[in-house]
Structure formats: C-alpha cells, structure tokens
C-alpha cells in the first residue's frame, strides 16, 4: 500500500478537525483510499503557542519554516486551512508551481482568485480541490462538477450561511427583533463577535461566486455578485411574510438568462411550500434546477470543525486515489463559456414593500398611481396597522424590472402622504 504524505498549513478549528478525523477514522480512510495517509508536517505561525486540545503526537509535527513543507519532496498533498487571503494565496501558488496537489477550505481566496489558481493548477498538472470552501459537509462542488455534469443548469438557489439562517429562523419562531436574535446567535457561538461578513451577506456572496463558476463553466468573481444582508429585516417583516404565506431567507441566487448569468444574494420572501423555506437553524441547503435532473436539493451542516473536516478529508482521499492509480489529470475546472454577468438593474422580480403612510383618503390610490407610472402592478395589499394619524400597508407587486421598481420607490418616498418606506424585499414567485 502506497504512503501518501500530507503537509498541512494551519492548525486552527478546521485544521484540528481534519487532523482529528484522519486519526479517528484512519483504518477506514486508508482502506477507502487504498493508501496509507500520513500527516508529515504542519506549518503554523507560532510554534510555541499553547495548544492544550491538540494531540501531543501532532505537536511533534509543527514547524514555522515553510520550506519544511514546500521543499519536502516526500509530501504529496498540501492542505491549506489557515484562512485569510494574501498569505494563503502566496502559499497555494507556490505549492502549485512546485506541482504539489492542493486541498483548501478557503472560500475567501477561492472566490477572488479561483480563475488564476485553476489556470496555475492546469499548467502544472496539479490537482486543486476545494469542496470545503462552499458548504462544508454538503458535497455540492462534486455534484455540480460530476453528478450533474450532463445537465444544463438554469438556476441555483442556496442558503449558504448558517449564522444568518439561524438568526432569521429565531426571529420567525419567537417573533423577536434582529438585534435580539443576533445576540442569541453570539451567545450560542453561532455568530462571531464581529458578524459583518455573515449578516451583510458577504460570506454567501463568496460561496455563490464559486458555485456559479462551476455550474456555468465561466469566470465569476466575488465583485460580480450583487449583495444585500439581513440587518434591516424586522419582526414586522417576518410577521407579514407569514401572513402572506412566505418565510424570509437569505438566498444566494445564480440564474441563467438568455446567454448571461445573474448572481445575487438577498433576503427573499420564499413561499412556505418551497423546500428552502423549511431549512432552519444553522443548516445550509442548495436547490438546483436543471433540464434533465429537474429539481435537486442538498441539505446539511454548512459550517463547524467536523463538517468542514469531512469535506477536506474527502478531497484528500480523492487525490490519494488518483496518485495511487497514476490517474492524475488537471482539475477539470475549465471555464470555457464566454457568458456575461448580467446587472441586477434589468432583472425581473416581485417585491414586498412595507410603507408607513399618513391616514388620509386616497393614499393607496396615489401610491398605486406612482407604481403604475413605472410599470409596476400590485399583486396583493395588506393594511394591518392603523393609528390616529398614520397607517402601515404592505404591498406585494407582480414581477417588475428592478430599475423600474427603484425609480418608483424614489418617487414614492418624496410623496407627502408617505412617512417612510420601511422595507423593500424581493419575493420568490409561488
């Protein structure tokens, strides 16, 4: 049985989980890979840092000298789990140029530099696998690249961030405001002390860029993704959504339209009958629409040491098998399609509007008139709250070009009868 030696960069949460899984399931993993997989060296920034939870045998493998990994001819696979972008990118590029195979869990790096790394891997005949960079334990990269490779994918809808899904689920189930749900997520360890990347939608945007590039065989970068977060969602919005037959989810959406691809991350009113509307808590899910397979959904844990380690180890086994069978080919992520990224201004969507208006005759007709002037038609209206001098109305529109919707909103907010446009949220068609 051939010995496959691993050099790992980083020993944080994911690195520790990966090392622990390789040890815990060693016998099974080696039989699956038909190889003896051995951890050889682990590169860390500070070799003297206290690591009380790490197996003492692993501590013997620590080094702070990159040459111990990159210039070590015995190491076959380098596993990058250090996080960050610039230094990780430098290390991965160096490894690929040395024809070392790479497994990475780094979504930040892949979302911005995937195209460059794909080209470098192909040039050097090295494998670059990154399943863990998107939805941890959910094998979505493998499914898109292999299982659905013969399908024309028309759309990908995903809940790609467990923190935001937990917050929205908490708001829904308990009727609490965003700030309270966020604090609960922090208290339970589901949100970082600085949760900006999650709640502003940046994390989902990075993952979507990776998925869209694979699904449509085209170059998609993080900056191509139009992003809105969940910080403006209120308990009132959650309540209206429920009343109208929806649940609010942060949805990553990649859609093929007439030769182009639209990529965006937004809070969305999802019909309560849609499978994604039923995904709660810290779980992730990816819903795929394709021509032959039809509708497919993958569901599972999208974060955490064990879930992410599961994907990392799966990629290690895949490369080990290829090495043992002398079947190494390039990564196959050939981005051959010259499709364009579509701007969101021309996208068509239904919208939910929540307005605080003056209590006076003809308010709705005036608002409807402005909407009509911009080719926005109303699907449904709810007036749930009325006060002495004001009222709150919720409107759902028919499908409308986004630019028309924004122009209408700019006019509506200047009407004397409108105190405030409280919320604007996209609506998935039932």
Q: Given a cut of 80, is residue 387 above it in pLDDT?
A: no
> Based on the domain organization, do 213 and 201 belong to the same domain?
yes
Q: What is the mean pLDDT of the chain?
A: 93
Same domain, 286 and 154: yes
**Does 107 qualify as catalytic in the annotation?**
no
pLDDT: is 239 or 390 the higher one?
239
Is 278 in the same domain as 152? yes
pLDDT for 185 equals: 95
Which one of the listed residues 107, 207, 249, 262 is annotated catalytic? Answer: 207
Q: Is the pLDDT of residue 333 over 60?
A: no
Say whether both 10 and 115 belong to one domain: yes
Residues 251 and 394 in one domain: no
In a domain, residue 31? The reply is yes
Judged by DSSP in three states, 293 sits in coil
Give the pLDDT band (50/70/90) at residue 334.
low
- Give the model confidence (pLDDT) of 280-332 as tens digits: 999 999 999 999 999 999 999 888 889 999 999 999 999 999 999 887 665 45
39 lies in the same domain as 9: yes
56 shares its domain with 174: no
Which CATH number fits the domain that encloses residue 29? Answer: 3.40.50.720
Q: Please give the average per-residue pLDDT across 90-113, as a whole number.
A: 96
pLDDT in tens, 56-75: 888 999 999 999 999 999 99
Which of 276, 291, 324 delimits the end of a domain? Answer: 324
Q: What is the CATH number of the domain that holds 265?
A: 3.30.360.10
Which band of pLDDT confidence, cut at 50, 70 and 90, is reported for residue 414? very high
419 beta partners: none
Residue 152 lies in a domain: yes
Whether residues 170 and 294 share a domain: the answer is: yes
**Number of folded domains that form the chain:** 3
85-103: average pLDDT: 97
What CATH number does residue 369 fall under? Answer: 3.30.70.1150
pLDDT value of residue 247: 98
Give the range among 175-189, 318-332, 372-386, 388-402 with minimum mean pLDDT: 318-332
Average pLDDT in the 103-127 region?
92
Q: What is residue 330's predicted lDDT score, i.e. its pLDDT?
A: 53
Q: Which residues lie closer than 8 Å to 74 by C-beta, 6 or more apart? A: 5, 40
Strands (E), 151-243: 153-159, 226-227
pLDDT, residue 389, reads: 80
Confidence of residue 242 (pLDDT cuts 50, 70, 90): very high
* Residue 96 within any structural domain of the chain: yes
Task: Give the angle 388-391-395 at the CA atoms, nearest 5°.
Answer: 170
Q: Which of 388, 391, 389, 379 is nearest to 354 (CA)?
A: 391
Q: Which domain holds residue 64?
A: 2-136+305-324
Predicted local confidence at residue 384, as pLDDT: 62
Q: Which of 293, 324, 355 is the last residue of a domain?
A: 324
Beta strand segments in 221-292, E: 226-227, 246-257, 260-271, 283-290
For residue 304, the model assigns a pLDDT of: 84
The whole-number pLDDT of residue 345 equals: 83
CA dist 261 and 214 (Å) reads 12
First to last CA, the chain: 55
Instruction: Tell me which of 244, 267, 301 is where a domain ends.
Output: 301
What distance in Å separates the CA atoms of residue 84 and residue 105, rounded to the nearest whole number? 11
In which residue are the tokens 């192909």 written?
122
Question: Does 271 lie in the same domain as 183?
Answer: yes
Question: Is 335 part of a structural domain of the chain?
Answer: no
7 with 92, same domain: the answer is: yes
Residue-level pLDDT at 396: 95
* Confidence band of 361 (pLDDT split at 50, 70, 90): confident
Is 333 within the bounds of a domain?
no
Are residues 177 and 278 part of one domain? yes
**Same domain as 314, residue 349:** no
User: From the centroid of its chain, how far is CA 215?
Assistant: 14
In a 3-state reduction of DSSP, which class is residue 246? strand
Residue 15 lies in a domain: yes
Instruction: Give the model's confidence band at 219: pLDDT under 50 very low, under 70 low, under 90 confident, else very high.
Output: confident
What pLDDT shows up at residue 302? 84
Asked whether residue 329 is domain-assigned, the answer is no
Pairing of strands 101-104, 128-129: parallel
* Residue 140, CA distances (Å) to 86, 135, 145, 284, 298 in order: 26, 7, 8, 11, 7
- Among residues 136, 148, 161, which one has the least CA distance to residue 314? 136
Is residue 339 in some structural domain? Answer: no
């Amino acid at each position: 049985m051939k010995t496959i030696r691993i050099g790992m960069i980083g020993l944080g949460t994911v690195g520790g989980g990966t090392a622990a899984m390789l040890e815990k399931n060693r016998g099974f993993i080696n039989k699956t890979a038909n190889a003896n997989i051995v951890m050889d060296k682990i590169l860390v920034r500070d070799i003297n840092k206290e690591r009380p939870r790490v197996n003492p045998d692993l501590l013997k493998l620590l080094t702070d000298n990159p040459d111990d990994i990159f210039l070590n001819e015995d190491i076959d696979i380098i596993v990058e789990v250090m996080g960050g972008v610039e230094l990780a990118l430098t290390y991965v590029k160096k490894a690929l140029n040395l024809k070392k195979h790479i497994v990475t869990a780094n979504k930040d790096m892949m979302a911005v530099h995937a195209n460059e790394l794909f080209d470098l891997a192909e040039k050097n005949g090295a494998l670059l696998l990154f399943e863990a960079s998107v939805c941890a334990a959910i094998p979505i990269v493998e499914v898109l690249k292999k299982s659905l490779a013969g399908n024309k994918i028309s759309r990908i809808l995903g809940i790609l961030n467990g923190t935001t899904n937990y917050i929205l689920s908490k708001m829904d189930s308990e009727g609490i405001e965003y700030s309270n749900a966020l604090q609960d997520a922090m208290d339970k360890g589901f949100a970082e002390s600085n949760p900006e990347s999650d709640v502003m939608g940046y994390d989902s945007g990075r993952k979507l860029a990776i998925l869209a590039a694979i699904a449509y065989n085209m170059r998609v970068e993080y900056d191509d993704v139009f992003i809105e977060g969940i910080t403006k969602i209120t308990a009132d919005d959650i309540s209206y959504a429920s009343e109208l037959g929806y649940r609010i989810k942060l949805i990553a959406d990649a859609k093929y339209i007439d030769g182009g691809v639209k990529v965006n991350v937004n809070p969305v009113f999802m019909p309560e009958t849609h499978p994604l509307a039923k995904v709660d808590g810290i779980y992730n899910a990816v819903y795929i629409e394709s021509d032959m397979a039809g509708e497919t959904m993958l569901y599972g844990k999208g974060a955490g040491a064990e879930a992410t380690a599961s994907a990392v180890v799966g990629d290690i086994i895949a490369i080990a098998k290829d090495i043992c069978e002398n079947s190494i080919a390039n990564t196959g992520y050939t981005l051959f399609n010259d499709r364009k990224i579509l701007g969101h201004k021309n996208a068509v969507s239904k919208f939910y509007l929540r307005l605080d208006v003056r209590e006076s005759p003809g308010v709705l007709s005036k608002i409807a008139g402005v909407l009509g002037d911009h080719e926005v038609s109303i699907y449904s209206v709810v007036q749930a709250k009325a006060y002495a001098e004001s009222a709150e109305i919720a409107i759902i529109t028919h499908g409308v070009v986004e630019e028309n919707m924004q122009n209408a909103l700019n006019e509506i907010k200047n009407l004397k009868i409108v105190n405030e446009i409280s919320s604007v949220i996209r609506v998935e068609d039932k």
